[in-house]
Structure 1
Amino acid sequence: MSETLPDLHRAAGVLFDLDGVLTPTAEVHMRAWQHVFDDVLARWGVTEPYSDADYFAYVDGKKRYDGVASMLRSRNIEIPWGEVTDPPQAETVCGIGNRKNAAFAAALRSEGIAPFPGSLALLEQLRAAGVPMGVVSSSKNAQEVLGSAGIRDFFTVVVDGVVAERDHLASKPAPDMFAEGARMLGVEPSVAVAVEDAVAGVASAAAAGYAVVVGVDRGAGPQALRAAGATGIVDDLSRLLAGASH
């Protein structure tokens, strides 16, 4: 990439999204969503199939139940919200979300996960430089993914779907989660860096007032990321390593 990219090694703090930024779990999420929505739409007689474009438009970066509701709304489907305790077979927003989570958890435990090599290298460099780091993820599985990938100890702060639900933080693209991440890390967004691969996440960080929002293009597309507020685009975090050729 030819554009000038920020030097994260001099940042007051860096807040990373998890799935698709640090770990390739976005692919596991995508497969789980595909399985669940294929089944739901087929059983309900919806002719327009679920696609990767739907994932990026309606699900990516959002809290699980918000993603379900957004996707169903795109097909003019409204069903009861239900309760977070709904069983996976319940035909509610929460039930469908829990069905997806069960599929994701089963895949994660059977396949395991490792961080992207470029992401791990950047985390190691930033830790050596003494840069405070945190994770801002809509996933309720963030702690398990970080532990499975062996990178939990890099972060002093994790704002995930569990924290968002507990503290009533609005889902990305609202600024709440990235604003809370900066507050917990003890940095002002105006001097911090956010790193995101989801359009909703980029919009969240931009709305929270982050000085730099790095968009990681894992499929959302550079134009969509820029339109949401990304100040720079990379295809892998190795582009942000000290001495990397931009």
Structure 2
Amino acid sequence: MTKQGPHLTELGLPDTVRACLFDLDGVITKTAVVHAAAWKEAFDAFLRVREGDGFRPFDPVAEYDEYVDGRPRADGVRSFLASRGIDLPEGSPDDPPDRPTVHGVGNHKNALLLEKIRTGGVEAYDGTLRYVAAARAAGLRTAVVSSSANCRDVLRSVGAESLFEVRIDGVVAAERKLPGKPRPDTFLAAAGDLGVEPAQAAVFEDALAGMDAGRSGHFGYVVGVDRVGQADALRAHGADRVVGDLAELGGAA
């Protein structure tokens, strides 16, 4: 039975919340910066071949936040390239990384990401892990919602897989044909799998696309996690509260 009253107050949540839905990269693990670096390397390589050495490089802060962060891989490719007036053929999911297609560019990014994770490892945000444990101790249901197809492996690498009852990631989304963020469908699926209404769930996100998903899905509370100095943008995209770390919400001391 879900505990109420001061337990949820100590977690910084409304007492109507019954479940917590957490993004992975930038919220649970310190992988958002690794994703940004992999995207930059992949996009710059593509642009250099297409436009020559005078190409305008990918901005791993502004353009990453605007066009890529939180979105499924192929959507990120389409979104960024469209901003540069570039329209590529889709190709197929098994395209090699050097093929000038949406999937080819995306596969190049993923290969770079996996290599960076393999060589540099993955770290978790301790404040988040303590907060998730505190939420579970208070009787709240928990899920991880990520566009990453590598979500399960990353969670296992930091020993956090058992903290989440439900996982809706890039693999599950593809199987269920769920559109990714900024659409709310993956978060809605997580809430449904946990047996709660959207209004009974809190969303924890660091991406602007995740904020949009949380708001458009009419979730009960949306927490923006600001790791890169975009607090105002997180609020503008629908955050009810913005924190630098989930430890600030309480329950994670």
CA deviation map 1:4-40 (0-9, x unaligned): 9963495300000000001101111111111111111
Q: Residues 5 and 228 (structure 1 numbering): CA distance in 2 closer, same or farther, change over 3 Å?
A: farther
Runs of 4+ in 1 over 4 A off after TM superposition: none
Distance 2:151 2:38 in 1: 16
Aligned residues: 241
TM-score, normalised via structure 2 length: 0.90
2:90 maps to what in 1?
Answer: 81
Aligned to 2:162: 153
**2:98 match: secondary structure:** coil
CA contact (8 A) 2:46 2:100 kept: no
The one of 120, 128, 132 equivalent to 2:141 is 132
Q: Which amino acid aligns with 1:16?
A: F
Question: What residue is the counterpart of 1:49 in the other structure?
Answer: 57
Q: Give the residue type in structure 2 aligned to 1:20.
A: G
- 1:47 is displaced (CA, Å) by 2.8
Partner of 1:40: 46
Distance 2:191 2:229 in 1: 25
Q: Which residue of 2 aligns with 1:198?
A: 207
Tell me the equivalent position of 2:239.
230
TM-score, length of structure 1 as denominator length: 0.93
Tell me which amino acid in the other structure corresponds to 1:7: G
How many angstroms apart in 1 are the aligned matches of 2:215 and 2:188? 10
Q: Offset at 1:243?
A: 7.8
Aligned partners of 1:179 and 1:205 also within 8 Å: no
Distance (Å, rounded) in 2 between the aligned partners of 1:179 and 1:62: 16
2 CA distance for matches of 1:229 and 1:8?
Answer: 16
The answer to whether the Cα contact below 8 Å between 2:11 and 2:251 also exists between their aligned partners in 1 is no
Q: Which residue of 2 aligns with 1:19?
A: 25
SS in 2 for 1:44: helix
Partner of 2:196: 187
Task: Identify which of 106, 130, 152 aligns with 1:97.
Answer: 106
Q: How many Å separate the matches in 2 of 1:133 and 1:226?
A: 24
Instruction: Give the root-mean-square deviation of aligned CA atoms.
Output: 1.8
2:67 corresponds to: 58
8 Å CA contact 1:118–1:236 kept in 2: the answer is: yes
| Residues 220, 64 of structure 1: alpha-carbon distance in 2 compared, 3 angstrom cutoff | farther
The SS at the match of 2:88 is coil
Counterpart Cα distance in 2 of 1:76 and 1:5: 48
2:219 counterpart SS class:
coil
User: Aligned partners of 1:42 and 1:78: how far apart in 2?
Assistant: 16
Q: What does 1:107-122 align with in structure 2 at a 5 Å threshold?
A: 107-122=116-131
Distance in 1 between residues matched to 2:225 and 2:252, nearest whole Å: 19
